[in-house]
């Protein structure tokens, strides 16, 4: 695999994840620690739908994407229902719980997921007879998914619907006082974000062609959250910037010709230092939130 193409694909996928997570964390104010669950669920759903029998259903990539988006959205709904009455930190912990439950399911439901053995040989994505076999093909798909995600999230945040989401972040009780049911809004936001993360997962599965329960770790969740925070909560451009800065920095270390163990540790160190500096000097992230401005009317 060519290095630079792989890097670009991963950047696109991370931007997709970060922007969709920003909808939940930045705009709606729900600290969704177990975000990567949706990514994992989507990847597994797509893999199991597209893999040939007896492991999978042997259906097309498109069906796989739809399945991954739906199943991930369903997981978003699942976590939404009981936990949305929980506030702040409690929601964060409950969402983390969902991640570990899901992980444990993936590891132990061997008849379905083959457990720790993972799912090898996932078919490459294909649409209308065209097989996306090269990295450029995959990159094209990743760019399209990223563009759609940015567009959808942008539209949501500029819409009256998104306005209510942000109001919920600011003061949930206040929103209720105006006759709006916050639970409904929060569940929709969670489902959208989950569906996007699910689709990103399906693309990842089709690209790498192998997934196992260890593909998706809690650290991934934290990384994406940090990228969102780094860039600025409630800012789409911020999320994109966060991913770019973080990826370029961590990938840049590779070229220092350091031993492998050092690279991993150094990455985490750079990341931590970056976060601490940011929280100290620019707590709102690199690009802060922009609010609506209405022109003066006389």
Partner 1 sequence: MLEVKNIHKEFGGIKAVDGCSFKVEKNTITALIGPNGAGKTTLFNIITGFMKQDSGKIIFNDKSHDKKVSKDISNLPDYKRARLGMSRTFQTIRLFPKMTVMENLLVAMPDSNENFFRVLFWTRGMKREEKMLVEKALELLKFVDLHAKMNELAGNLSYGQQKLLEIAKALASEPEILMLDEPAAGVNPTMLNKIHDLMLELKKRGKTILFIEHNMEFVMNLADKVVVLDYGKEIANDVPANIKNNKQVIDAYLGVCEK
Contacts with partner 1 by CB under 8 A lie at 152, 155-156, 159-164, 166-167, 170-171, 173-182, 188, 289, 291-294, 297
Nearer to partner 1 (CB atom), residue 124 or residue 180: 180
Q: Which residues contact 120 (CB under 8 A, 6 or more apart)?
A: 209, 210
Give least dist CB 190 to partner 1, A. 12
Nearer to partner 1 (CB atom), residue 133 or residue 181: 181
Residues 194 and 73: beta-carbon distance below 8 Å: yes
Give least dist CB 71 to partner 1, A. 20
CA pair distance 70, 86, nearest whole angstrom: 25
Nearer to partner 1 (CB atom), residue 163 or residue 237: 163
The torsion angle over the Cα atoms of residues 106, 6, 152 and 229, rounded to 10 degrees, is 80
Environment class of 86 (CB within 10 Å of its CB; exposed 0-12, middle 13-18, buried 19+): middle
Give least dist CB 179 to partner 1, A. 4
User: Rounded to whole angstroms, what are the CA distances from 187 to 12, 181, 193, 280?
Assistant: 26, 11, 10, 33
Nearer to partner 1 (CB atom), residue 44 or residue 169: 169
Nearer to partner 1 (CB atom), residue 89 or residue 171: 171
Give least dist CB 293 to partner 1, A. 5
Nearer to partner 1 (CB atom), residue 100 or residue 151: 151
Question: What per-residue string of b and e applies to 2-23 under the rule 16 or more CB within 10 Å gives b?
Answer: eeeeeebbbbbbbbbbbbbbbb
Give least dist CB 181 to partner 1, A. 5
Nearer to partner 1 (CB atom), residue 4 or residue 292: 292
Helix, strand, or coil (residue 130): strand
Q: Which residues contact 16 (CB under 8 A, 6 or more apart)?
A: 142, 145, 146, 149, 196, 197, 199, 200
Give least dist CB 189 to partner 1, A. 9
**Token pair listed for 153:** 């999230």
Give least dist CB 168 to partner 1, A. 9
């Amino acid at each position: 695999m060519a290095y630079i193409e792989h890097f670009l694909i991963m950047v696109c996928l991370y931007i997709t994840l970060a922007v969709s997570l920003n909808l939940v964390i930045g705009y709606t104010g729900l600290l969704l620690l177990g975000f990567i669950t949706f990514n994992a669920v989507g990847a597994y759903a797509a893999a199991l739908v597209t893999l040939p029998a007896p492991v999978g259903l042997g259906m097309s990539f498109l069906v796989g994407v739809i399945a991954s988006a739906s199943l991930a959205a369903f997981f978003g709904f699942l976590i939404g229902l009981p936990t949305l009455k929980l506030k702040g930190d409690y929601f964060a912990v409950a969402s983390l719980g969902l991640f570990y439950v899901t992980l444990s399911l993936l590891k132990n439901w061997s008849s379905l997921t083959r457990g720790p053995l993972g799912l090898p040989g996932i078919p490459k994505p294909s649409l209308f007879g065209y097989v996306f076999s090269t990295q450029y093909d995959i990159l094209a798909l990743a760019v399209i998914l990223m563009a759609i995600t940015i567009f959808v999230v942008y539209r949501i945040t500029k819409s009256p619907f998104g306005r209510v989401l942000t109001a919920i972040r600011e003061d949930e009780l206040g929103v209720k006082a105006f006759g709006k049911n916050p639970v409904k809004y929060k569940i929709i936001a969670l489902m959208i974000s989950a569906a996007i993360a699910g689709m990103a997962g399906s693309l990842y599965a089709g690209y790498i062609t192998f997934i196992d329960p260890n593909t998706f770790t809690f650290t991934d969740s934290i990384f994406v959250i940090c990228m969102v925070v780094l860039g600025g909560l409630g800012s789409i451009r911020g999320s994109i910037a966060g991913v770019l800065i973080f990826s370029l920095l961590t990938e840049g270390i590779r070229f220092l010709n350091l031993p492998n163990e050092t690279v991993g540790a150094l990455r985490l160190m750079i990341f931590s230092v970056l976060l601490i500096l940011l929280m100290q000097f620019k707590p709102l992230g690199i690009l802060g939130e922009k609010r609506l401005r209405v022109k003066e009317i006389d």
